[in-house]
Structure 1
Amino acid sequence: MNFNTTVHFDFIKHRKKFFSFSIILTVLGIVSLLVFNLNYGVDFKAGTNMDISVGQKLTQADAKAVIESVGITDVIPTVGGDKGDRVSARFDEVLEQNKVKEIEGAFTAKYGENVSSEVNIVSPDMAQELGKKTIVAVLVASLLIMFYVMIRFEWRFALAANIAILYDAFVVVTIFSIFRLEVDLPFIAAILTTIGYSINDKIVIFDRIRENLRFGKFKNNEQLAEMVNQSLWQTMARNLYTVLAVLIIAVCLFIFGSESIKLFALAKMIGLASGAYSSICIAAPLWLVLKGKQKPKTSQPAKSAV
């Protein structure tokens, strides 16, 4: 069957290669999580985070020296802000109020009265609760998406879509685990938005597959595979334009955004790239595999009114 679409590459023909690559990456992610776990930020483990503005430019060495002057030697602060005047320091323990005041006083003594600070403290119970709520949020979002796709399409579409979006989320987690990037609440927001953008791509492709399936007659799996590949190319431009539009924004946020938003933007960039890949190379081919040897439905002629 000819859908009058120019096919530059047969994605369905190479689906086993895509599946193998994805499985290998998933296994690497599991191993990384088992060996290294995630580099949890203060949001997910007990500790204290201090953001200090000193009103003048300073270096990381300057900030570290001030903190060490109060007896804390195991903290590596980061310096950011438009003027390089903002210090962010994470402490792996819940600091007493007098120790917080001591750190603030040390910066005030060196940089003057313009020093201001913001302190965030997470207790062990709060960190544990945030971790549980995060897992619940991702699972609920995935189940609701599967339920929606099952209503709009069928269970095979829903299962293929859910496997693919969970893969997208896991790819982001894997990259952050391997490179020891900090996981905090903005990271979770990036995971959830990744799931949202990812399912959008898959719905567009599945909708085209359903339309082609409805109006075509397919005698064997080869013709069905050709239809899926044609459907991918019919929706390719729309999906790429959507992903590129959001990706450009994420790249700009990563390059020009503040330090606090860079990891969020990076997670978004990874998630968008993985979502585009999984929509084409995992979700659609997986639906075809699930369809298996079932005889596809063919269009039936309309019955004449009696």
Structure 2
Amino acid sequence: MSFKNLNYVHLSKYFYIFSIALTLAGIICLSVFGLNYSVDFRAGSNVDITLSKGITAEQVQPILDKLKIADEASISPGEERMNIRFTQVLNEDQEMKLKGEISKLDEKASFEVNTVDPEMAKELARNAIYAVLISCLGIIVYVSIRFEWRFAVAAIISLLHDAFMVVAVFSIFRLEVDLTFIIAVLTIIGYSINDTIVIFDRIRENLRFSKLKNRQDLIELVNRSVSQTIMRSIYTALTVFVAAFFLFLLGGESIRMFSLAMVIGLLFGAYSSIFIASPLWFVLKSKQKNKPAKAS
């Protein structure tokens, strides 16, 4: 089946159902479990250890018990790396003792300790929310000036959908949220609005030369506009998706969550521009078209 023959407005209802279901699941998970914040957004210390030989969690746990810093500590072992996260902030003495005990197991071990105090954690979380909201506000202003308010409403709902879908997936699967995750969300918003603007620009262009007499004419206009730009949207999303996917597979641990958020966000962004933003504009526009004309 050719992309040019698809009824995107009709198909959008199935994507609406899928998005609404995932949104509800995300809201429930966020309400019950919240997000799995990294040390970037949560007070505590994060100890990242580079090893020259394998060390198991069972070997490290007695060390934490001995130093009396095992409460609420989680150990993530690996072949060449180990991560220990503490919900409490380690003082200098505890940090030195921990390094000394683990160095007895691996003399070549190197350590990287990141500590966030409670006030800094709150400020980082607050600033991350502000960054997303301000970027969305700027997009609303831009699209309203460049197009019209219906395009702006459809675009911002689509962007919020993309951002929340990534947050929902991370909440449902308990994936770690760190500062790179916020960068990924802002990047996804940028890619998504780019695709949406391309489709909206084609809709506006076709609108100038179309004589719309009824609802069906408007449906055909939206379907034609999407079909004329869909391959460009797919190629753009696919190019970035491939890069993000291999970055997730082959990249370092520090950018793994960033890469994963990009992969998820690009998938949602690709279909939201086509099956959510454009059909939503159609709904808003069709309501205007269906209003009875005023008597002259």
TM-score normalized with structure 2 length = 0.92
CA deviation map 1:10-32 (0-9, x unaligned): 11123333223222222221111
* Structure 1: distance between partners of 2:143 and 2:260: 28
Identical columns (%):
51
**Is the CA contact (8 Å cut-off) linking 1:69 and 1:106 kept in structure 2?**
no
Q: List runs of 5+ in structure 1 lacking aligned partners.
A: 297-306
* Structure 2: distance between partners of 1:106 and 1:205: 60
- Who is 2:93 aligned against? 98
Q: Any idea what SS the aligned residue of 1:51 has?
A: strand
- Who is 1:36 aligned against? 33
* Structure 2: distance between partners of 1:200 and 1:262: 25
Shifted more, 64-73 versus 150-159: the winner is 64-73
* Higher share in helix: 2
Question: Structure 1 residues 211, 176: CA separation in 2 closer, same or farther (over 3 Å shift)?
Answer: same
CA deviation map 1:157-209 (0-9, x unaligned): 11100000001000000001111111110111111101011101101110111
Question: Structure 1 residues 233, 60: CA separation in 2 closer, same or farther (over 3 Å shift)?
Answer: farther
Instruction: Map residues 1-306 of structure 1 onto 2, 5 A cutoff.
Output: 7-64=4-61, 66-73=63-70, 74-80=72-78, 84-112=79-107, 114-295=108-289
Question: Structure 1 residues 241, 62: CA separation in 2 closer, same or farther (over 3 Å shift)?
Answer: farther
Q: Shift of residue 146 of structure 1?
A: 1.1
Question: Structure 1 residues 6, 48: CA separation in 2 closer, same or farther (over 3 Å shift)?
Answer: closer
CA deviation map 1:225-269 (0-9, x unaligned): 111011111111100000000000111011111122111111111
> What is the RMSD of the two structures over their aligned residues, measured on CA atoms?
1.8
* Structure 2: distance between partners of 1:64 and 1:165: 44
**Is the CA contact (8 Å cut-off) linking 2:188 and 2:262 kept in structure 1?**
yes
Q: Any idea what SS the aligned residue of 1:95 has?
A: coil
* Structure 1: distance between partners of 2:156 and 2:221: 22
CA deviation map 1:100-144 (0-9, x unaligned): 1111001112211x3321111100000111111011100000000
Amino acid at match of 2:87: D
- Who is 1:299 aligned against? none
**Is the CA contact (8 Å cut-off) linking 2:188 and 2:266 kept in structure 1?**
yes
* Structure 2: distance between partners of 1:6 and 1:177: 34
Q: List runs of 5+ in structure 2 lacking aligned partners.
A: 291-296
TM-score normalized with structure 1 length = 0.89
How many residue pairs match? The answer is: 288
* Structure 2: distance between partners of 1:63 and 1:145: 49
